[in-house]
Amino acid sequence: MYEDRIRLAALRDRVMSADEAACLVDDGMVVGMSGFTRAGDAKDMPAALAKRAAQHPMKFTLITGASLGHDSDKTLTEAGVLAKRLPFQVDATLRGAINRGEVMFVDQHLSETVEFLRAGQFGKLDVAVIEAVAITEDGGIVPSSSVGNSASFAILADKVIVEINLAQPLGFEGMHDIWIPGRRPHREPLPIVGVSDRVGSTTVKIDPAKIAAIIITDTPDSASNALPPDAETQQIAGHLIEFFQHEVKRGRLSTTLPAIQSGIGTIANAVLSGFLDSPFEHLTMYSEVLQDSTFELIDAGKMDFASGSSITVSQRMQDQVFGNLERYRDKLVLRPQEVSNHPEVIRRLGLIALNTALEADIYGNVNSTHVGGTHMMNGIGGSGDFARNASMAIFATKSVAKGGKISSIVPMVAHVDHNEHDVDILVTEQGLADLRTLAPRERVKLVIDHCAHPSYRELLRDYYQDALRYGGHTPHALERAFEMHINLRDRGSMLAGQEA
């Protein structure tokens, strides 16, 4: 049975139920689990672990690539098994537990997690749980729709549990490029010099003896929950396309553009879709997650190649792409997230990095993670890997949220994930501010006039005038810096008190 999926015959007797495999995990352990932006996550083990915990109370540290699908983080949170969770999540239930201080969440640059693991920072990795489409004759693990941290998890873990997912097509085989850096101090350069370069192996090579359990499952990935483009995200895309055209005219960019990184979510997806009706062509991506827009651009002949760590698409696109992987075979590669997010490659290729901001301030500092400065939304993800090392870091957001009660442009962000040094371009549906080469005082007018919603501009200008009393390179009136945030928290709107 499963001869095409478990080709190393000696491993076939390790097939067992998820409930049996779950007994390999115990209290106090460190568990690495596949899954990156809802793609290629282990489908059966999370529920099995929750079930086991009901009989056998335990808490463990759970490390993934990025977010999981199938409400797995909800299931695990409700089971009370998560002592520590990293490096990223998008689950409402888990988010609540994090913000109540019940689950310790380590919000980490996605390129760094496996470096921490290798350095022994979390102790030893006890168990890895990896979704795969197959195990090859030589015991190599063939990942599915994401690589994430799976390869290093399997290499570093004492025991490996493989979830063979029959719902993931065997066509994924050959699409991965598994490159693992050498041990320091003798580490060689990462040899990727173009987005399509293949520099590693197509499978994760480990000692098959470490494979302690194989689970057979047949559950597709959760579909992407990115919303389709709307009027405002289309305006954001429009401003960016216009800006890129302007840069081409000035001779600072070519019409193929540098390779693009695009964060996950509705806005980034919409911006990329905006390239469909643009004069840009032969586009390439060197990104983390490949969303619907990537495949739209490939199908339209606009994009030549896309490198990512996962494929997270809508249900419609899942049917189209996963059912026709052959069609994309020479246009896609999936890499470990430390390679997709590696500062070395990001700087070398001179990426255009496009990520989403929760809020930005008048000087161009960006908060990507903390609602109201206190409550975790999802995590910094790869945005810090990219923004620091890219040749152009773009942050996009709608200028207001909650029907205008929240301005995304504030006097001072209440949490800083990306500081002024790293934020080159800020764009909202109102317009775009090119902050490069500008001192903080030069940035203020651009950010307020181009990016802030009209209903907040006077409030922001008043703040800046008041702040100038104190002088400085970056003027602030500290006693008022969070006035808008406090109004929102206590009175339900950042405009509270302004209506009169």
Residues 220-259 contacting a copy of itself, CB under 8 A: 250-252, 258-259
Q: Which positions ≥6 away from 72 have C-beta within 8 Å?
A: 35, 41, 42, 46, 47, 91
Peptide bond into 336 cis (omega under 30): no
Asked if 402 interacts with a copy of itself (CB under 8 A), we say no
How many CA atoms within 13 Å lie on the side-chain side of 173? Answer: 14
Q: Minimum distance between the CB of residue 116 and a copy of itself, rounded to whole angstroms? A: 7
479 as an active site residue: the answer is no
Give the phi and the psi of residue 36 in degrees, each rounded to 5: -145, 120
Could you tell me the two tokens for 355?
A: 């990520």
CA distance 344 to 335: 15
> With 0-12 CB in 10 A as exposed, 13-18 as middle and 19+ as buried, what is 196?
middle
* Least separation in angstroms between CB 92 and a copy of itself: 14
Q: Which of residues 322-351 bind a copy of itself (CB under 8 A)?
A: 342-344, 346-350
**Catalytic annotation, pick one of 112, 131, 163, 288:** 288
Q: Output phi, psi for 162, to 5 deg.
A: -105, 125
Q: Which of residues 14-73 bind a copy of itself (CB under 8 A)?
A: none
Q: Tokens 């495999």: give the residue.
A: 21
* Beta carbon nearer to a copy of itself, 28 or 194: 194
Give me the helix-helix angle, 315-322 and 292-299, nearest 10°.
50
Q: What is the CA radius of gyration of the chain?
A: 23
The CB-side HSE value for 311 (13 A sphere, CA atoms) comes to 27
Report the site for a copy of itself in 479-498 (rule: CB under 8 A). 479, 481-482, 485-486, 489
Of the candidates 56, 65, 58, the one whose C-alpha atom is nearest the C-alpha of residue 128 is 65
Encoded tokens for 287: 């990104």
Residue 80 makes contact with a copy of itself by CB under 8 A: no
- The nearer residue to a copy of itself, 143 or 200, going by C-beta atoms, is 200
CB of 47 to a copy of itself, least distance (A): 25
CB-nearer residue toward a copy of itself: 169 or 372: 372
Q: How many CB atoms lie within 10 A of CB 466?
A: 15
Of 315, 324, 374, 465, which lies in the binding site for a copy of itself, with binding defined by CB under 8 A? 374
CA angle (238 as vertex; 237, 240 as ends), nearest 5: 65
Residue 388 identity: R
**Residue of 3, 55, 189, 403 interacting with a copy of itself (CB under 8 A):** 189
One of 137, 473, 499, 500 touching a copy of itself (CB under 8 A): 473
d(C-alpha 68, C-alpha 222), whole Å: 9
| Residue nearer to a copy of itself on the CB measure, 183 or 403 | 183
Question: Among residues 31, 297, 298, 414, which is the contact residue for a copy of itself, using CB under 8 A?
Answer: 414
Closest CB to a copy of itself among residues 300, 439: 439
Among 238, 243, 255, 386, CA closest to 308: 386
Nearer to a copy of itself, 217 or 474 (CB): 474
Which window, 138-146, 315-323, 325-333, 474-482, contacts a copy of itself (CB under 8 A)?
Answer: 474-482
| Closer to a copy of itself by Cβ: residue 48 or 352 | 352
Site mask for a copy of itself (CB under 8 A), range 433-472, x = bound: ---xxxx-xx------------------------xx-xxx
| Minimum distance from residue 212 beta carbon to a copy of itself (Å) | 25
* DSSP 8-state class, residue 228: P
User: Which listed residue (22, 475, 494, 495) binds a copy of itself by CB under 8 A?
Assistant: 475
CA distance 23 to 297: 45
The nearest distance, CB 301 to a copy of itself, in angstroms, is: 20
Q: How far is the CB of 416 from a copy of itself (least distance, A)?
A: 4
CA distances from 348 to 191, 192, 352 (A): 11, 9, 12
Which of 241, 189, 218, 173 is CA-nearest to residue 396?
A: 241
Between 269 and 407, whose beta carbon lies closer to a copy of itself?
407
Out of 88, 105, 395, 456, name the contact with a copy of itself by CB under 8 A.
Answer: 105
Identify whether the C-beta of residue 400 lies closer than 8 Å to the C-beta of residue 473. no
Considering only residues 122 to 141 of the shown chain, the ones binding a copy of itself according to CB under 8 A are 122
Site residues (CB under 8 A) for a copy of itself, limited to 152-181 = 181
Task: Mark the segment that binds a copy of itself (CB under 8 A) among 155-163, 287-295, 301-309, 475-483.
Answer: 475-483
Give least dist CB 111 to a copy of itself, A: 8
Cα 431 from Cα 443, distance rounded (Å)? 14
Identity of the residue, 35 or 373, whose beta carbon is nearer to a copy of itself in the bound complex? 373
| Residues labelled catalytic | 288
